[in-house]
Structures are given as structure tokens and as C-alpha cells.
Structure 1
Amino acid sequence: MIIRVSEAHVAPDHIEEFLEQLHALVADFPTRYDGLVSHEILTDMGDPGRIQYVSRWTDQIALIAYAGEAWAHDPVTFPDEDRYLTTPLTLRHFAITTI
């Protein structure tokens, strides 16, 4: 499994609109993308402008179908997303490590 975390730092006066756009964008992802195990939008309780989209994927093939060949370093964005952000969107990937 691959866990993909996109993090946005959103200007305070754009948080509500950004979240509306993000929710609308990802609402149908489970039916559109095979291999998407789960996904969620997280808002930092100490910094409401710090928002993460966390998705869990079965494998790299599923991620390529979603994000393209450059999935490992190119974030998926929505139109005009930059106008909401105070810094560029960041992207990280994680593997689950068993103990």
C-alpha cells in the first residue's frame, strides 16, 4: 500500500472556499479510481490553513492511473488552486512499516 499526502497552506480568507473546492473534487474518487483504498481531508486543529489530502492506494499502478507517470513528484491540483495557497503544494508518499 502507498499512502499519498498532499499538503496545502491556505490563506485564512480562502480556507472555506478551498475546502469546498477540494471536497467537490474528491467526492467521487472512490468510484472513479480503482485501487483507491480510502481517502480523507485533514485540517490541522492548531493551524486551520494547513490542510492535507491523504489517500491510500493499493499499488503504483493505481497511482499512475490517478496521477500519471509523474505521480511520485507531481501533485494533482484543481484549476486556480494556486490562488488559495500561501506556499506551493507539497507531496509525500509513505509505506506502512510493520513492527
Structure 2
Amino acid sequence: MATGEALLARLSGLFEQDPLIDEVGLLFGLESSDLTPETAFVLEDHKLGVAFAAGIPLFQAARMQFHPLNALLQQEAAEITQSKDNQRRSQLLHC
């Protein structure tokens, strides 16, 4: 079984490979034990299929990458709100 990090890296690579992906669907029939970064996804004609079995490991890996980023964003927001620089404060309010 593939790790969530490997699946997420492959998924990111597919979106870089084809930035015109216009449809994402679920693929059924692949067991978790058979899941690899190569078998978890199908990309054809700007359509991306994602194995249903990849859902949980992908979510967990994405969540782990998001939490450190979220902490950095919160720290930056706190610094901006405490700043006397009104331009930076207005940028925060508009994002």
C-alpha cells in the first residue's frame, strides 16, 4: 500500500502535468493493498480518476501538510494585526 505522502505527491504532479483538468471522479474496484501512486490515478483527456481507496491516505497527508502552513499563516496574521503598518493590515483584511 502506498503512503499518503506518495499519493499526494503523485496527485500534485498530475495537476502540474495537466493544468487543464476539468473533471475529477472516483474509481472503484482497487483494494487498499493494491494501491500505488501509479495505480491510484488515471489521467486521460483532462479527466482525472482517483481511486476511492486513496481517499483516506490522501486526506491525512494533505491535512498534515496544511497544519504547519496554517500555523505559519496564523503567525503572519498576528504579526500583521499588531503592526502599525496600515497597508499590511488592509491586505490581511482583503484576503
TM superposition score category, shorter chain reference: under 0.3
Larger CA Rg, structure 1 vs 2 = 2
User: Between Structure 1 and Structure 2, which shows a larger proportion of strand residues?
Assistant: 1
User: Between Structure 1 and Structure 2, which shows a larger proportion of helix residues?
Assistant: 2
TM-score, L = length of structure 2 = 0.25
Higher relative CO (Cα under 8 Å, sequence separation at least 6) belongs to 1
